[in-house]
Amino acid sequence: MDMVLTNIGLLATPVGNSARKGAAQREIALIPNAVIGIKDGKIAFVGREQGDAQQAESAQGDATQLIDCGGRLVTPGLVDSHTHLVFGGWRQKELALKLEGKSYLDILKAGGGILSTVEHTRAASEDELVEKGSALLSEMLSFGVTTCEAKSGYGLNMADELKQLRVMRTLNATHPVDVVSTFMGAHAIPVEYEEGRDGYIELLINEIIPAVSREGLAEFCDIFCETAVFTPDESRRILLAAARCGLTPKAHADEIDPVGGAEMAAGVGAISAEHLIEASDEGIKALADSGVIAVLLPATSFYLDKPFARARRMVDSGVAVAVATDFNPGSSPSLNMQFAMNLACLKYKLTPAEALTAVTLNGAAAINRADKCGSIEVGKQADLVIWDAPDLEYIFYRYGSNLAHKVIKGGVVV
């Protein structure tokens, strides 16, 4: 073994290589007095300190780094399955507009919102964006995030969308946090195409999506299916074109208005539908029937002062639910996954066990990584959080503090 974690008060993890739904979302493994062995960056051994002590001891060689967890809780590293990590500038100026009562879509229609971040992102160099993204990833890691997804969508032209995606590729290669890339050129209609939105959709379908695919710069294609942004028909067309180029569909669906985004996502065979604040009963049923993962973003509801997605109903209807931050400069300027976890319990009424699955294995499944991370099982990446907490309830209840004591990524304390 390269590393052995001893004196784990409680090990809590979901189990398996795929999303957990319905009652299975709360069926997690809870092992008191656990021990974990790590070899070559992967989990090599998981057991109980007493029962498996001999095995644990023989697993330790001279070179083994021993970590005494001091009776603390250990979980898988957190997976933030929905972020807009790479962007220029911030949008603190919109706070005053919000306080005056302007809505998110009012600000976007007036040329602010996403379009203001597009201006700043286009103006930033690749190096500047790497430097900023790297600092943000380090902050995420300090909260326990070991894998995150990142979406483009602040370039809205060939050069700047590819620039954003190259930044993500560099970040993935240079930062300990794994970064999984999603192309989201269909995030807004850029100002150049205000008078001819079809021209932008043609550009996406005929030029930018094929280029992203050719250069292997993204695994997924997402779209903002929303009032005044992209209609369900436009979304379907773009996502099906992306799928033909090998990009797996995802969708921002029913975030602000119930436009049938969930049904659209189910219809195109998306891996996930995200937000779903206003998803209809039919939409939820469509997700359950087609096995689309719901990626819910409670910090966005909090920041936009909107209702919270009907997570309880989704779990009870057999939809696999993941929870993420939606970190972005407009509607969720927080990358704190622990805050999203608190809200998942307090506002979504998920149990701690369901919420743990939502921020680990189900998040991993939403970005096609459930065979590599999201649970503490032999063969998976050694991505772990040692919490300043004696049990699982504690981390969902003590909001406002950073409770991550140590974070281990690929077998290394980071």
80 binds Zn ion (CB under 5 A): no
Binding to Zn ion in span 111-170, by CB under 5 A: none
Buried b (16+ CB within 10 A) or exposed e, 238-257: bbebbbebebbbbbbbbbbe
Q: Return d(Cα 315, Cα 357) in angstroms, integer.
A: 12
Residue number, 326 or 383, with CB nearest to Zn ion = 326
The residue number with the shortest CB distance to Zn ion is: 326
Compute the distance between CA of residue 316 and CA of residue 320 in angstroms, rounded to an integer: 10
According to DSSP, the residues that pair with 384 across neighbouring strands are 76, 408
User: Which residue lies nearer to ligand IZC by CB, 69 or 204?
Assistant: 204
35: helix, coil or strand? Answer: strand
Kindly tell me which residue out of 326, 352, 392, 395 binds Zn ion, with binding defined by CB under 5 A. Answer: 326
Among residues 82 and 310, whose Cβ is nearest to Zn ion? 82
Work out which of 143, 183, 200, 224 binds ligand IZC, going by CB under 6 A: 224
CA dihedral over 149, 83, 363, 316, signed as positive or negative: negative
Q: By CB under 5 A, is residue 255 in contact with Zn ion?
A: no
Q: How far is the CB of 353 from Zn ion (least distance, A)?
A: 26
> Is 183 near ligand IZC (CB under 6 A)?
no
Of 34, 38, 69, 114, the residue at the interface with ligand IZC (CB under 6 A) is: 114
Q: Length of the chain in residues, anyone?
A: 414
- Which helix (H) or strand (E) segment holds residue 91: the answer is none
Phi, psi of 132 (to 5 degrees): -65, -45
Q: Among residues 9, 47, 77, 113, which is the contact residue for ligand IZC, using CB under 6 A?
A: 113
**Smallest separation, CB 58 to Zn ion (Å):** 48
* Backbone phi, psi, residue 348, to 5°: -85, -20
Q: Do residues 13 and 26 make contact, with C-beta atoms less than 8 angstroms apart?
A: no
13 binding ligand IZC? (CB under 6 A): no
Please, which residue, 113 or 185, has the CB nearer to ligand IZC?
113
Is 112 near ligand IZC (CB under 6 A)?
no
C-alpha 394/C-alpha 28 separation (Å) is 16
Helix axes 352-359, 337-346, angle to 10 degrees: 140
Of the candidate residues 75, 117, 147, 336, the single one contacting ligand IZC (CB under 6 A): 117
Q: Which stretch binds Zn ion (CB under 5 A): 41-49, 111-119, 309-317, 325-333?
A: 325-333
- Only one of the segments 265-273, 328-336, 381-389, 393-401 lies at the binding site for ligand IZC (rule: CB under 6 A); that segment is 328-336
Stretch that binds Zn ion, among 139-147, 176-184, 320-328, 395-403 (CB under 5 A): 320-328
Query: Where would I find the beta strands (DSSP E) of 28-163?
Result: 29-39, 42-48, 65-68, 73-76, 78-80, 145-151
Structure tokens at 410: 């690929």
User: Would you say 84 or 310 has its CB closer to ligand IZC?
Assistant: 84
- Per CB under 6 A, 328 contacts ligand IZC: yes
Least distance (Å) between residue 240 CB and ligand IZC: 21
Contact between 190 and ligand IZC by CB under 6 A: the answer reads no
Closest residue to bound ligand IZC by CB: 330
Contact of 59 with 38, CB cutoff 8 Å: no
Tell me the window of 199-207, 327-335, 340-348, 355-363 that interacts with ligand IZC (CB under 6 A). 327-335
Q: What is the DSSP string of 340-400?
A: HHHHHHHTT---HHHHHHHHTHHHHHHTT-TTTSSS--TTSB--EEEES-SSHHHHHHSTT
Q: What residues make contact with Zn ion under the rule CB under 5 A?
A: 326
Q: What residues make contact with ligand IZC under the rule CB under 6 A?
A: 84, 113-114, 117, 224, 252, 328-331
